[in-house]
Amino acid sequence: MDNLQYMSGFGNEFVSEDPRCLGAVPKNQNSPQTCPYGLYAEQLSGSAFTCPRTSNKRSWLYRILPSAKHEPFKPYHHSFLTHDWDSVPPNPNQMRWAPFHIPSVQEIGKVDFVEGLHTLCGAGDPKVRTGLAVHVYTCNSGMGDKAFYSSDGNLLLVPQQGTLYITTEFGKMVVEPNEICVIQLGMRFSVNVDGMSRGYILEVFGASFELPDLGPIGANGLANPRDFLTPTACYEDRSCDYTIVSKYQGKLFCAKQDHSPFDVVGWHGNYTPYKYNLDRFMVINAVKFDHADPSIFTVLTAQSTRPGVAIADFVIFPPRWSVQEHTFRPPYYHRNCMSEFMGIIKGDYEAKKGSLPGGGTLHSMMTPHGPDAACFEAASREEMVPKVVAAGTQAFMFESSMSMAITNWGNETCRVVDDEYFQCWAPIQKHFDPQWDPSEQFEE
């Protein structure tokens, strides 16, 4: 279904034409006086016009009809999408959710991607262009003649169950579990599914996702630019009763139009949707001693105005070798000035039992967390031989410098909150021995 091209360099300029209309992209942005094939030129800007060249994001779309041709927007009722972070009293406790329920067609009828959106937690305000929201989607049918876009933020989609068949203004993408895609601010898209589907969405207000700097790692490692894919132009010229759904200031609005919004015959620019296969991530890890910070697993980051501080990082914990000597190998016990939402795409998380694919955990700012009791005891006594960690699994984390609040749906309505999560640390035993002989410590 999709026809993708390598981005070859994150943020580079691309030119794409539907092969049915070669030459659709003119040599200049909006000249000659009329575009080839009688198309309309339209610019989609993802940054201010005056941003430095290195951060200036825009694409020119050459389409059959301009996107301005639609009826006025009207409110679109949605019960579970919100940026009201004050409806539930703050809760600093460790939170865990069981797998989020996917309604079947027999249960409540057809639920598409938009209807299946639920906001779990977040912080900030899209009106002032700073902050983030964590959403969950659970759906059982395609969107049909309906398209969606966010005027609030950039969307990072993480499918957990079910393949997403995504049509965008730039072309088509097929995104499977263990892949991710980013659909940036203002880009219209429609999602089709082939059954019960579930996944996670990280929405970031006012910042773009980018690759983290590598520093001493050097030129290669983590997510390499060449492994990101962007669609090639693929237009449809179709008259129909189409609904455009806009997310604006945390609310949904809809407008009717008489044609498909996916009528872009050609485009060029550096502001595109893209996808990435998490199996392509080049893991960096400790090979002598100690446990490196989880920042070495960052795939994409959305930076704040403070150097080195992210509004949100997307981090994964893929299969990898563990080879450290004289080291407690699982993640260390931890209190963090960041908020950490974790989900599992497949398998289980090696440092804690009980977390399941399709669920999640939230460890809020400065709330302690770490390995459960069983993990600590086993890792403290295991033989220090090389072994594969997290084989057949894929866990991820949305980490943010903002203190995230839980929505009413996340706290009550979804009915999958694990009230016994704290019990995983209850069996931890005291091992303190004031008579311990320092000579028993391994020699450096």
| Residue 436: predicted pLDDT | 87
Tokens of 117: 């959106």
For residue 188, the one-letter residue type is R
Catalytic one among 369, 431, 440, 443?
Answer: 369
Residue 164 falls within a domain, yes or no?
yes
Does residue 307 share a domain with residue 182? Answer: no
Among the listed residues 78, 236, 334, 377, the single catalytic one is: 334
Q: Is 268 a catalytic residue?
A: no
Same domain for 253 and 303, yes or no, is no
Classify residue 175: in a domain, yes or no: yes
Which phi and psi (to 5°) does residue 109 adopt?
Answer: 95, -170
Determine which one of 291, 377, 382, 440 is catalytic.
291
Looking at 249, 278, 307, the residue that finishes a domain is 278
- In a shared domain, residues 255 and 311: no
In this prediction, the residues of the chain whose per-residue pLDDT falls under 50 are 444
- pLDDT at res. 341: 97
The answer to whether residue 431 is domain-embedded is no
Specify whether 225 is located in the same domain as 365: no
What's 54's domain CATH number?
2.60.120.10
439 within a domain of the structure (yes/no): no
Please give the mean pLDDT across all residues of the chain: 93
Q: What's the pLDDT at 360?
A: 95
Of 83, 259, 268, 363, which one is the catalytic site residue?
363
| The predicted structure's pLDDT at residue 256 | 98
Cα 364 to Cα 90, 341, 384, 421, distances in angstroms: 10, 8, 33, 14
Query: Do residues 288 and 274 share a domain?
Result: no
375-387 pLDDT, tens digit per residue, is 999 999 999 999 9
Catalytic residue selected from 42, 179, 340, 350: 340
One domain for residues 273 and 287: no
Looking at the structure, tell me whether residues 297 and 222 fall in a common domain: no
Is residue 427 included in any domain, yes or no? no
Instruction: Mark whether 335 and 250 lie in a shared domain.
Output: no
Domain boundary among 239, 260, 278: 278
User: Residue 442: what pLDDT?
Assistant: 54
Nearest C-alpha neighbor of 257 from the set 182, 142, 147 = 147
pLDDT number for residue 27? 86
What is the pLDDT, as a whole number, of residue 357?
95
pLDDT at 6: 64
128 occurs within a structural domain: yes
178 and 310 belong to one structural domain: no
Query: Total structural domains in the chain?
Result: 2
- Boundaries of domain holding 400: 283-405
- Note the pTM of the prediction, 2 decimals: 0.94
Pair of tokens at residue 131 = 């902050």
135 is catalytic: no
Write the CA distances from 424 to 64, 281, 351, 352, integer angstroms.
58, 31, 11, 8
Residue 83 bears catalytic tag: no
> Of the residues 259, 278, 297, which one is the last residue of a structural domain?
278
Q: Note if 340 is an active site residue.
A: yes
Residue 307 domain flag: yes
DSSP 249-269: TTEEEEEEEEE-S--EEEEEE
- Do residues 269 and 298 both lie within one domain? no
Query: Does 98 map to a domain?
Result: yes
Q: What is the pLDDT of residue 444?
A: 47
Same domain, 273 and 293: no
Is 363 an active-site residue?
Answer: yes
Assess whether 259 and 288 both reside in one domain: no
